[in-house]
């Protein structure tokens, strides 16, 4: 039996070697701080959001609304949106680094992963570390059959990063989907990547890598 | 009243009319009487009752009226099969992506005549010329060699290509869903080939 007072479909917290992922809501993330990182004119915000599905916030209210959506998606089981914080041994220990999402599609038995990081956290392999942790959630906890990732066709940096962690998990880039996603600046092509449960189990499933959450539902 | 999808289309050898106007009995027999090869790569079984076939027609009407997809009955216009129900074809409109998705079920007796390509030519024209979409896309199951040949032929002829092999694309109805070969024809390629 679970001893959690409010058992949830998704783990509320996922810890990796260098990161802490916490279910995002207006408690775990200060909406005013989120706004500071995401508002129009915030440092690097255009670069960060260039290939994302949303653009910089015009008002503080958008930060509140976003966090409310995160919370209701989490409670309903529609999606898990995690705030990513630098781990305690990182130079910016405890700082808000970005967001990470996991959206299950139960009919297709797959989860789609997505993420964005503040620019100062780029280039450290955080995205891959976050992906490995959420793949484990998708396969081990949610019992799904595949993990899907897409990226804007022109986003070379993300494509390289995704390819790296997808291939390490035994998965592959599948090809280009035309007009597949509505991004910030309109509809554009996406590359699609998949990792199946079998591929993951063979390549990463046994890895004991930083899974302090294992067993908390026992 | 003006309609989004053309009511009637004619090609050299085929005529297309809204599927929902087909007599339910005729449609039931067409679907029911196909040999298993026809259903081998379809995500559904033959209808078990006339009611089931009628429901399919009703949803085709709803989708037509809702402008989410056009389902057409396909009939040869000459020869000994003239007027017979040979198949059904789909053009689904994903408006917010500016993509048309094609689909076809052809009765076994009508395989191997190049009807699929002839139908595709007509549907591409609807998708690009009339509906002003940017891509026409089609998937077929990997391993379905008949579809592969037909699709590759018309996709290449119109300047498109196979872009991806998709896993876990279709809903999993018990067991792993099959891999799908995804093809797309861009509007510019189609226009270039059509000429002035």
Contact B167/A176, CB-based, under 8 Å?
Answer: no
Residue in B147, B150, B146, B103 with CA at minimum distance from that of residue B123: B103
CB pairs under 8 A between A and B: 57
Question: Nearest-CA distance from B165 to chain A in Å?
Answer: 5
Helix, strand, or coil (residue A19): strand
Residue A3 pLDDT level (bands cut at 50, 70, 90): very low
Residue A217 pLDDT level (bands cut at 50, 70, 90): very low
Would you state the pLDDT for residue A208?
55
- Given a cut of 50, whether residue A140 has pLDDT beyond it is yes
CB-closest option in B98, B172, B182 to A179:
B98
Instruction: Report CA B60 to chain centroid distance, whole Å.
Output: 13
Contact A145/B166, CB-based, under 8 Å?
Answer: no
Would you state the pLDDT for residue B165?
98
Instruction: Compute the average pLDDT of residues A89-101.
Output: 97
Distance from C-alpha of B6 to C-alpha of B9, rounded to nearest angstrom: 7
Residue A214 pLDDT level (bands cut at 50, 70, 90): very low
* Radius of gyration for chain A, computed over Cα atoms and rounded to the nearest angstrom: 17
Residue A49 pLDDT level (bands cut at 50, 70, 90): very high
CB-closest option in B97, B163, B168 to A146:
B168
Contact B172/A175, CB-based, under 8 Å?
Answer: no
- Given a cut of 70, whether residue A5 has pLDDT beyond it is no
> Do B190 and B123 touch, CB atoms closer than 8 A?
no
Q: Please, which contacts does A28-31 make with residues 24 or more away whose CB atoms are closer than 8 Å?
A: A28/A83, A29/A67, A29/A83, A29/A96, A31/A60, A31/A63, A31/A64, A31/A67
> Do B42 and B105 touch, CB atoms closer than 8 A?
yes
Contact B137/A178, CB-based, under 8 Å?
Answer: yes
Would you state the pLDDT for residue B2?
83
Q: Which residues of chain B have pLDDT under 50?
A: none
Q: Which residues contact A183 (CB under 8 A, 6 or more apart)?
A: A51, A52, A53, A152
> Do A173 and A193 touch, CB atoms closer than 8 A?
yes
Query: What percent of chain A shows pLDDT beyond 90?
Result: 89
Contact A179/B186, CB-based, under 8 Å?
Answer: no
Residue in A119, A136, A137, A151 with CA at minimum distance from that of residue A48: A119
Q: Which residues of A touch B135 (CB under 8 A)?
A: 178-179
Distance from C-alpha of B93 to C-alpha of B100, rounded to nearest angstrom: 5
Would you state the pLDDT for residue A6?
63
> Do B122 and B11 touch, CB atoms closer than 8 A?
yes
Distance from C-alpha of B6 to C-alpha of B16, rounded to nearest angstrom: 9
The whole-chain average pLDDT of chain B stands at 95
């Amino acid at each position: 039996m679970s001893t959690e007072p409010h058992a949830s479909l998704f783990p509320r917290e996922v810890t990796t070697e260098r990161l802490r992922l916490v279910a995002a809501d207006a408690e775990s993330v200060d909406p005013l701080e989120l706004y500071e990182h995401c508002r129009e004119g915030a440092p690097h915000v255009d670069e960060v959001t260039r290939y994302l599905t949303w653009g910089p916030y015009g008002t503080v209210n958008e930060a509140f609304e976003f966090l409310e959506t995160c919370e209701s998606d989490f409670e309903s089981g529609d999606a898990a949106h995690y705030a990513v914080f630098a781990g305690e041994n990182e130079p910016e220990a405890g700082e808000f680094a970005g967001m990470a999402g996991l959206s299950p599609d139960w009919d297709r038995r797959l989860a789609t992963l997505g993420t964005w990081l503040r620019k100062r956290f780029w280039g450290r392999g955080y995205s891959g570390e976050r992906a490995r942790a959420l793949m484990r959630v998708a396969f081990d906890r949610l019992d799904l059959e595949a993990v899907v990732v897409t990226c804007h066709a022109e986003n070379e940096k993300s494509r390289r990063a995704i390819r790296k962690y997808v291939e390490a998990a035994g998965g592959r880039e599948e090809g280009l989907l035309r007009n597949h996603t509505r991004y910030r600046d309109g509809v554009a092509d996406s590359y699609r990547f998949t990792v199946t449960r079998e591929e993951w189990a063979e390549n990463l499933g046994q890895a004991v890598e930083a899974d302090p959450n294992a067993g908390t539902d026992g | 009243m003006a309609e989004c999808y053309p009511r009637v289309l004619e090609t050299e050898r085929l005529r297309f009319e809204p599927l929902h106007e087909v007599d339910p009995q005729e449609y039931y027999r067409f679907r029911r009487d196909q040999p298993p090869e026809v259903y081998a790569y379809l995500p559904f079984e033959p209808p078990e009752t006339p009611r089931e076939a009628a429901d399919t027609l009703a949803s085709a009407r709803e989708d037509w009226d809702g402008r989410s997809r056009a389902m057409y009955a396909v009939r040869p216009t000459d020869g000994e099969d003239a007027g017979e129900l040979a198949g059904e074809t789909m053009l689904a409109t994903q408006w917010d992506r500016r993509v048309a998705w094609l689909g076809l079920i052809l009765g076994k007796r009508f395989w191997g005549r190049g009807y699929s390509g002839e139908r595709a030519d007509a549907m591409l024209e609807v998708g690009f010329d009339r509906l002003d979409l940017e891509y026409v896309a089609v998937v077929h199951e990997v391993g379905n060699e008949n579809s592969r040949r037909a699709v590759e032929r018309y996709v290449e002829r119109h300047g498109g290509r196979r872009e991806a092999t998709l896993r876990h694309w279709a809903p999993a109805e018990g067991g792993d869903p099959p891999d799908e070969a995804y093809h797309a024809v861009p509007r510019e390629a189609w226009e270039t080939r059509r000429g002035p």
